């Protein structure tokens, strides 16, 4: 320890780049170090209590320390943590995931959403023997080189004309970025034109069916499925956010559209690292080691492995989480909380005469200070970012932990909703009148 008397903030700054675990920073340097969570609440090291709308980046869908999850994890820790070989919990969970998700004939567990998306794209590229992948501008599919183009982290000054992509991080090879093109979410005619122009080279079309916090226009996903099916282009749903969140069968069940491959993560393992790539057998069978790798003669084989794949604790936690999510009425409650939250937030902004759009679907909510409809990432980026930061800061000061968007959980109830709305109203009263010109 270089500085024995340092505060946790100073220690974080000394040992973690930027004092952070990733990219999330709170407005105006609001200082917050988490120490525990319980239900819909998160506590910091100063013992202060906040309603938590981050909930582990959406991963704690039952709320913190759900007793069924705590019990399952505690029992599994005593039986063994990681085996690498098939284990009873992983097999039971694979069966449950396959029975829940419409496109899932087979399941391959991995540890993160980024890994799942990497592999889904590899599977599609192997299946089609093509390289080019179309994504939607502003989507986030993880940290991997090909996905960090034209993502939500794009520099607004670097926006390109469709379908060209911009690189969003140093260290991404230009050659990798050239394997990607982008289309505008919710604009089926532009997307159709781009697909037609590039169809001979396209290995996959991939998207978040709920694009960050922007819902698909009615018919958008259905038409995209029809176009890709007609042209024989695999469709990948990144359901790392929507899987087991919008419905038990994810966005596929909720919006009624079935892709060829999908990725799930976050929600289904109670906050313990776990994700999966799932899909139709014709794609997934390329992962069967009987098809051979290491010197095999099969050139359709796809390599995929990981030390923690099917980790027994993650899978035990997953089984307990899914059991809770299967309780009658859970999704009605989750979705109704999100719907009410959006309606009430919109009322507050309208009441204060602030041009704002509250958007999202199910238990995922976003807000943008703009006069225009938010239908894609470009319209969202027109919003007043300073105002969003000020509102987020105002909420934090009033014990609402909602960094830029709001995930709600099964543990968020009427009381939390009313407290949130009162805090938002108070925040808006305290802010100087603002100008929203776009």
- Spell out the residues 6+ positions from residue 328 whose beta carbon is closer than 8 angstroms to its own: none
Q: Which two tokens stand for residue 295?
A: 């010197």
Residues between 238 and 257 with contacts to ligand PLP, criterion CB under 6 A = 238, 240-241
Sheet holding 357-361, edge to edge: 357-361, 364-368, 405-407
- Spell out the residues 6+ positions from residue 208 whose beta carbon is closer than 8 angstroms to its own: 136, 139, 140, 141, 237, 238, 239, 240, 241, 242
Stretch that binds ligand PLP, among 198-206, 235-243, 311-319, 328-336 (CB under 6 A): 235-243
Choice between 267 and 379, CB closer to ligand PLP: 267
CA dihedral 60→65→69→71, nearest 10 degrees, is: 170
Note whether 269 binds ligand PLP by CB under 6 A. no
Note whether 380 binds ligand PLP by CB under 6 A. no
CB of 266 to ligand PLP, least distance (A): 6
Stretch that binds ligand PLP, among 106-114, 176-184, 309-317, 412-420 (CB under 6 A): 106-114
Note whether 213 binds ligand PLP by CB under 6 A. no
Per-residue string for binding with ligand PLP, 26-65, x by CB under 6 A? -------------------------------x--------
> Residue 235 forms beta bridges with which residues?
205
CB of 208 to ligand PLP, least distance (A): 5
Stretch that binds ligand PLP, among 8-16, 61-69, 109-117, 344-352 (CB under 6 A): 109-117
**Count, residues near ligand PLP per rule CB under 6 A:** 14
Note whether 114 binds ligand PLP by CB under 6 A. yes
Choice between 267 and 427, CB closer to ligand PLP: 267
CB of 354 to ligand PLP, least distance (A): 28
Choice between 224 and 348, CB closer to ligand PLP: 224
Choice between 117 and 392, CB closer to ligand PLP: 117
**Is residue 435 packed enough to be buried (19+ CB in 10 Å), middle (13-18) or exposed (0-12)?**
exposed
Measured distance CA(394)–CA(386) in Å, rounded: 12
Phi, psi for residue 94 in degrees, rounded to 5: -60, -40
Q: Which residue is at the shortest CB distance from ligand PLP?
A: 113
Q: Which two tokens stand for residue 281?
A: 């057998």
Q: Is the dihedral of CA 126, 128, 133, 139 positive or negative?
A: negative
Note whether 208 binds ligand PLP by CB under 6 A. yes
DSSP, res 420: H
CB atoms within 10 A of CB 250: 29
Tell which residue, 363, 332, 240, 267, has the closest CA to residue 60. 267
Q: Which of 66, 76, 87, 117 binds ligand PLP (CB under 6 A)?
A: 117
Choice between 54 and 424, CB closer to ligand PLP: 54
Site residues for ligand PLP per CB under 6 A: 57, 112-114, 117, 140-142, 208, 238, 240-241, 265, 275
């Amino acid at each position: 320890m270089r500085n024995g008397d340092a505060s946790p903030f100073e220690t974080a700054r000394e040992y973690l780049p930027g004092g952070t675990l990733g990219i999330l920073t709170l407005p105006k340097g609001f200082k917050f170090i988490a120490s525990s969570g319980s239900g819909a609440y998160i506590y910091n090291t100063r013992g202060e209590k906040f309603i938590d709308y981050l909930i582990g980046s959406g991963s704690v869908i039952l709320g913190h320390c759900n007793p069924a999850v705590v019990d399952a994890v505690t029992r599994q820790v005593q039986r063994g943590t990681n085996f690498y070989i098939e284990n009873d919990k992983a097999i039971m969970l694979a069966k449950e995931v396959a029975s829940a998700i419409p496109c899932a004939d087979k399941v391959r567990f991995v540890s993160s959403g980024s890994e799942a998306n990497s592999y889904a794209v590899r599977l599609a590229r192997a299946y089609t023997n093509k390289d080019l992948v179309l994504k939607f501008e502003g989507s986030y599919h993880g940290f991997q080189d090909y996905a960090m183009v034209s993502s939500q982290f794009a520099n607004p000054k670097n926006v390109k004309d469709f379908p060209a992509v911009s690189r969003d991080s140093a260290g991404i090879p230009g050659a990798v970025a050239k394997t990607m093109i982008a289309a505008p979410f919710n604009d089926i005619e532009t997307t159709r034109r781009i697909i037609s122009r590039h169809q001979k080279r396209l290995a996959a079309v991939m998207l978040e069916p709920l694009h960050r916090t922007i819902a698909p226009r009615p018919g958008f996903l259905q038409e995209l499925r029809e176009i890709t099916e007609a042209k024989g282009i695999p469709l990948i749903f990144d359901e790392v956010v929507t899987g087991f969140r919008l419905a038990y069968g994810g966005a596929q069940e909720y919006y009624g559209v079935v892709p060829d491959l999908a990725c799930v993560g976050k929600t289904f393992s109670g906050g313990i690292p776990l994700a999966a790539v799932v899909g139709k057998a014709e794609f997934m069978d390329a992962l069967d080691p009987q098809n051979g790798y290491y010197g095999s003669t099969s050139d359709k084989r796809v390599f995929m492995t990981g030390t923690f794949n099917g980790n027994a604790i993650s899978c035990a936690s997953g089984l307990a989480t899914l059991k809770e999510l299967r309780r009658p009425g859970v999704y009605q409650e989750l979705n109704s909380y999100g719907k009410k939250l959006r309606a009430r937030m919109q009322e507050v902004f309208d009441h204060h005469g602030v041009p704002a759009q509250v958007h999202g679907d199910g238990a995922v909510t976003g807000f943008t200070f703009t006069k225009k409809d938010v239908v894609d990432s470009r319209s969202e980026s027109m919003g007043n970012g300073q105002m969003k930061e000020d509102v987020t800061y105002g909420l934090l000061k009033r014990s609402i932990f909602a960094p830029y968007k709001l995930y709600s959980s099964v543990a968020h109830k009427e009381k939390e909703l009313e407290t949130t709305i009162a805090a938002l109203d108070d925040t808006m009263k305290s802010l100087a009148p603002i100008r929203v010109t776009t």
